[in-house]
Amino acid sequence: MEADTTASAARQQSLREHNLALVARTVLRAGTPPSRAAVAAGTGLNRATVSRLVAELVAGGLVAEEAPVSAGAGRPATPLRPASGTVAGLGLEVNVDFVGARLVDLAGEVVAEQIETGDRRGADPAATLSRLAHLARAVIAQAPRVRIAGAGVALPGLVRHDHLLTAPNLGWQELRPRALVLEAAPELGHLPMVLGNEARFAALAELAAGPDESFLYVSGEVGIGAAIIKGGTFFTGLHGFSGELGHVSVEPSGPRCRCGARGCLETFAGTQAMGSAAGLPPGATPADLASRLAAGDVDARAATHRAAVALGIALASFVNLVDVGQIVLGNELGTLTEHLRPDVEAELAGRVLAARWAPPTVRAATAATHPALTGAARAALEPVIADPSAWIAQG
Amino acid sequence: MEADTTASAARQQSLREHNLALVARTVLRAGTPPSRAAVAAGTGLNRATVSRLVAELVAGGLVAEEAPVSAGAGRPATPLRPASGTVAGLGLEVNVDFVGARLVDLAGEVVAEQIETGDRRGADPAATLSRLAHLARAVIAQAPRVRIAGAGVALPGLVRHDHLLTAPNLGWQELRPRALVLEAAPELGHLPMVLGNEARFAALAELAAGPDESFLYVSGEVGIGAAIIKGGTFFTGLHGFSGELGHVSVEPSGPRCRCGARGCLETFAGTQAMGSAAGLPPGATPADLASRLAAGDVDARAATHRAAVALGIALASFVNLVDVGQIVLGNELGTLTEHLRPDVEAELAGRVLAARWAPPTVRAATAATHPALTGAARAALEPVIADPSAWIAQG
């Protein structure tokens, strides 16, 4: 009988954990703060169980109560929302022109952030990841009362588990970034750390901030990446290497790309390529290009036209192959959306076979600056939401 | 009580139907003919139930028994296989250089077939679909003892439900092919009819005949289509319009394509484009091109090289975006695989960012000539396999 009692206790325990996760998910991912009654209705659990589980989540610092709202004759309902400033994910990013660290809490608010701009092409990986570790330490020190759930590291290249296989624009190959971060900051060794492609993490931020559940997210900086989100989840491909839009061939004998091939989209529509075609000095930003465009600068117009046509050609291939409906331009490229749109849409209309029946639309991303930092932080919070019992037990 | 009895009877009935479908699927999709014992083990049903359901399927003409096989000391086991020549799907196809009809039975064997070659570019839709109806009638007449489950119609263009939206190489737009077929052969009106893109149906045939569960199928004839199969099912995209490989831009200012755009893959690697670049007369086939290649003809080599490079560029974009591992060259293009492979693989190696870690492979399709006819016929048989009770009850 003892074995049975143990098994039954385990089942009870596991049921409690399951229900706690269900309630956590319902509150933490809700659009508008639900009441306990709404949580009960949404989960199918009874009111008493919901109240008990909500109390655990409030005590554990995952959920907070807003001021009660009177709704007609009944007892006022207390809206529940993600707790602010209690638990955060640490988003880290190495990109071509900056390294950064950002703490994002369960409410999606930025608790602390450090960005260090500067050209990282050809930079030493150990030195760069040591800077990243320094920034991580700094943002953690800025928020001493926040518990850190884990870290997400966004990288501009192909990632497999804890390996960065290649990041052509950095000139990096076959690295283990986590080991290099921990060399510089061994005290981060207790944090779960997940690596990912920056376009994927940026798409995750857009999924949280924007209106759509299905879209192609284009992350445009010096390099260009992309991620396909379908029904709220990633389309990953066979090995997780999908979305390399920047290396779609636009002009087979065009300029040499950092990846070794010729005429990749990045060589026309990467921010550096656009700036240099417009005659801007190295290190100029899309904001500088936008100023020139506003002033009617002819070279800036020609460079933008060339980039938009190239982007339209590559996106048309994407839509012909994968049939996406909504294209979201994000990161630095997103700030130029209105300048790029006419030529991009003209190429899509002319080259997408189904354009007449299913015209793809183009919009700018809604997510904030450096969205991959936010997406990486959110990814680091996911285990807390998926298993709040384990998180609370560790606390 | 009567309502309860009826409900309970309905449940019984529905359980029987469910189990009959389970047993049908297990036998009809098995690699090697299973015994009743193997079916019981595979489905979790008991031996008596399996025997009763198998008897129904044998009586209904869906399953046949092979000669018993002695296996050691026990009673000899009787292998079960799909019945031959009893039930068939009707595959119909209009393509740029032929129309055809093929009856394929549950065992995957061709029961009857009629192919009529000839250039259909710019052909009148009503006249062409009337020819197709004639061929359908002819193959049905060839097999008077076979019950026809339905028809699949393969078309070289974008299909939505019962509409053909566009087939650029035929010059067809916005048609309802079923209505035109039935005008010519009203007696086919009782057949369920499903329309589909020819590359999808061809991929279905390859899935049944070939070794892989995940691949990119490339259907190359005058036009070039493709279908992504992942884990045995289609990746369809948002509207079902994915896989338009033929209209991926290879050279943005290249030759004008029948779709209206410039430099689409079809203008380099479609069979007609290859033949004309090689100086072959109109209507020459890939077999003619292969003879010239075997004879060392310089123009044939140059045309093949140009096509292979273009195909490699377009496929590299596909792999960069969607991350497929296995590329299968099918239909007429498949017959040239060994001539195309070196240049295709060189472009993939040079242009796919992940090529070093996940090199895509290229092979010729295993499925027979005009695979879309077989795939369309198989698609027409699916409802019989999914709900054998309904089919047997109609018989």
CATH class of A87-201+371-394: alpha beta
Contact B350 A160 (CB under 8 A): no
Tokens of B76: 């000899």
Q: Is the pLDDT of residue A236 over 90?
A: no
How much of chain B is in helix, strand and coil states, percent to nearest 5? 45, 20, 30
- Minimum-distance CB partner of B316 among A249, A309, A313: A249
Q: Does the structure show a pLDDT above 60 at A349?
A: yes
Q: Report the chain B residue with the minimal C-alpha distance to residue A313.
A: B249
Query: Strand B158-160 vs strand B361-364: parallel, antiparallel, or unpaired?
Result: unpaired
Asked whether the beta carbons of residue B353 and residue A158 sit closer than 8 angstroms, the reply is: yes
Chain mean position to CA B85: 20
The type of residue at B276 is S
Token pair, residue A17, equals 């954990």
**Res B1 pLDDT > 50:** no
Q: Closest to B322 (Cβ–Cβ): which among A158, A237, A252? A: A237
Separation CA B175–CA B93 (nearest Å): 15
Question: Is residue B280 predicted with pLDDT exceeding 50?
Answer: yes
Tracing tokens 């396909």 back to the chain, one arrives at A228
Tokens of A263: 């005429």
Average pLDDT in chain A: 93
Q: Tell me if the domain spanning B2-82 has CATH number 3.40.50.280.
A: no
Q: What are B179-185's contacts with CB under 8 Å, separation 24+?
A: B180/B125, B180/B126, B180/B129, B180/B130, B181/B92, B181/B129, B181/B130, B181/B132, B181/B133, B181/B136, B181/B153, B182/B133, B183/B126, B183/B129, B183/B130, B183/B133, B184/B129, B184/B130, B184/B133, B184/B134, B185/B133, B185/B134, B185/B136, B185/B137
Do residue B353 and residue A252 have CB atoms under 8 angstroms apart? no
* Residue of B158, B230, B250 lying closest to A353 (CB–CB): B158
Contact A148, A89 (CB under 8 A): yes
Residue from the list A226, A237, A248 with its beta carbon closest to the beta carbon of B324: A237
Convert the pLDDT of each residue in B13-44 to its tens digit: 788 999 999 999 999 988 889 999 999 999 99
**B168: nearest CA in chain A?**
A353
- Of A214, A237, A259, Cβ closest to residue B353: A259
Rounded to the nearest integer, the mean pLDDT of chain B is 93
Report yes or no: A198 and A164 within 8 Å, Cβ to Cβ.
no
The CA distance from B248 to A252, in Å, is 13
Q: Decide if A239 and B317 are in contact by the 8 Å CB cutoff.
A: no
pLDDT, one tens digit per residue, over B38-53 is 999 999 999 999 999 9
Sheet order of strands, B224-230 included = B233-235, B224-230, B215-220, B326-330, B361-364
Nearest CB neighbour to A166, from listed B235, B236, B353 = B353
Comparing alpha-carbon positions, the chain B residue that sits nearest to A246 is: B320
pLDDT recorded at residue B237: 73
CB contact under 8 A, A250 and B245: no
CB A187 within 8 A of CB A101: no
pLDDT of residue B52: 96
State the nearest Cα–Cα gap between A168 and chain B, in angstroms.
Answer: 9
- The three-state secondary structure class of B174 is strand
3-state secondary structure chain A: CHHHHHHHHHHHHHHHHHHHHHHHHHHHCCCCCCCHHHHHHHHCCCHHHHHHHHHHHHHCCCEEECCCECCCCCCCECCEEECCCCEEEEEEEECCCEEEEEEEECCCCEEEEEEEECCCCCCCHHHHHHHHHHHHHHHHHHCCCCEEEEEEEEECCEEECCEEEEECCCCEEEECHHHHHHHHCHHHHHCCEEEEEHHHHHHHHHHHHCCCCCEEEEEECCCEEEEEEECCEEECCCCCCCCCHHHCECCCCCCECCCCCECECHHHHCHHHHHHHCCCCCCCCHHHHHHHHHCCCHHHHHHHHHHHHHHHHHHHHHHHHHCCCEEEEEHHHHCCHHHHHHHHHHHHHHHCCCCCCCCCEEEECCCCCCHHHHHHHHHHHHHHHHCHHHHHHHC
Grouping H, G, I as helix, E, B as strand and the rest as coil, residue B54 is helix
Nearest to B241 among A241, A243, A323 (CB): A323
Nearest CA in chain B to A257: B351
- Residue B102 DSSP label: E
Answer yes or no: is pLDDT of A1 > 50. Answer: no
Please name which of B155, B199, B201, B158 lies closest in space to residue B178, comparing C-alpha atoms: B155
pLDDT of residue A10: 66
pLDDT at B359: 92
Find the Cα–Cα–Cα–Cα dihedral B304, B309, B312, B316, rounded to 10°. -170
Contact B146, B191 (CB under 8 A): no
Residue bearing the bigger pLDDT, A1 or B71: B71
Distance from CA of A83 to the nearest CA of B (A): 36
Q: Find out whether A266 and B320 touch, Cβ atoms under 8 Å.
A: no
The residue in chain A having the minimum alpha-carbon distance to the alpha carbon of residue B163 is A357
Q: Suggest the residue from A249, A313, A348, A361 to mutate for an interface test with chain B (most B CBs closer than 10 A).
A: A249
**Chain B: residue whose CA lies nearest to A262:** B351
Interface size, chain A vs chain B, as Cβ–Cβ contacts under 8 Å: 146
* pLDDT cut 70: percent of chain A above it: 97
- Using DSSP's 3-state secondary structure scheme, residue B141 falls into helix
Q: Is the pLDDT of residue A310 over 90?
A: yes
How confident is the model over B153-180, as a mean pLDDT?
95
AA letter at A14: S
Residue B287: what residue type?
A
Q: Which CATH class is domain A211-364?
A: alpha beta
The encoded tokens of residue B297 equal 């003809």
Give chain A's length: 395
State yes or no: pLDDT of A2 exceeds 50: no
Four-point Cα dihedral B263, B269, B272, B276, nearest 10: 80
Whether B241 has a pLDDT exceeding 60, the answer reads yes
- Residue A135 distance to chain B (closest CA, Å): 30
Q: Which residues pair with A197 in a beta bridge?
A: A155
Q: Read off the amino acid at residue A59.
A: A
Residue B71's pLDDT band, with cuts at 50, 70 and 90, is low
pLDDT digits (tens, 9 = 90+) for A130-169: 999 999 999 999 999 999 999 999 999 999 999 999 999 9
Interval B304-352: pLDDT, tens: 999 999 999 999 999 999 888 999 999 999 999 999 999 999 999 999 9
Compute the distance between CA of residue A147 and CA of residue A21 in angstroms, rounded to an integer. 19
- Each residue of B123-142: pLDDT tens digit? 999 999 999 999 999 999 99
Beta bridge partners of A249: A264
User: Which tokens sit at A270?
Assistant: 């990467």
Do B165 and B175 form a contact (C-beta atoms < 8 A)?
no
CB-neighbour burial class of residue A145 (10 A; exposed 0-12, middle 13-18, buried 19+): exposed
CATH 1.10.10.10 segments of chain A? 2-82
Q: What is the mean pLDDT of residues B228-236?
A: 83
Q: CA distances (Å), B53 to each of B20, B27, B305, in order?
A: 6, 11, 56
Tell whether the model's pLDDT for residue A300 goes beyond 80.
yes
What SS3 state is found at B358? coil
Nearest-angstrom CA–CA distance, B228 and B218: 9
The CA distance from A39 to the nearest CA of chain B, in Å, is: 32
User: Average pLDDT of A237-258?
Assistant: 90
- Are A322 and B237 an interchain contact pair (Cβ–Cβ within 8 Å)? yes
Q: What is the pLDDT of residue B2?
A: 45
**Integer Cα distance of B59 and B53 in angstroms:** 10
Whole-angstrom distance, CA of residue B230 vs CA of residue A371: 30
Q: Which residues of A fall within a CB distance of 8 Å from B313?
A: 249, 252
Do B87 and B105 contact (CB within 8 A), yes or no? yes
- Residue B366 burial (C-beta neighbours within 10 Å; 0-12, 13-18, 19+): middle
Band of pLDDT at residue B230, cut at 50, 70 and 90: confident
Element (H, E) at B181: helix B177-184
Dist CA B297 CA A180 (whole Å):
57
Numbered ranges of CATH 3.30.420.40 in chain B: 87-201+371-394, 211-364
Burial class (CB in 10 A: 0-12, 13-18, 19+), B210: buried
The pLDDT of residue A187 is above 80: yes
Least confident residue range of A5-19, A95-109, A292-306, B284-298: A5-19
Q: What is the pLDDT of residue A6?
A: 66
**What pLDDT, on a 0 to 100 scale, did the predictor assign at position B234?**
80
Q: Which residues of A touch B237 (CB under 8 A)?
A: 322-324
Side by side, the strands of the sheet bearing A147-155 are: A110-117, A98-105, A87-94, A147-155, A193-197
Q: What is the pLDDT of residues A360-381, one digit of tens each?
A: 999 999 977 999 999 999 999 9
A173: its two tokens: 């190959």
Contact A323 B350 (CB under 8 A): no
CB–CB of A324 and B238 under 8 A? yes
Chain A hits for B242, CB-CB cut-off 8 Å, are 321-323
Task: Work out whether strand A98-105 and strand A87-94 pair parallel, antiparallel, or are unpaired.
Answer: antiparallel
pTM over 0.95: no
Residues near A141 by beta carbon (within 8 Å), at least 6 away in sequence: none
The position carrying tokens 């189904």 is: A354
Whether residue A215 has pLDDT greater than 50: yes
Q: Does residue B16 sit in helix, strand or coil?
A: helix
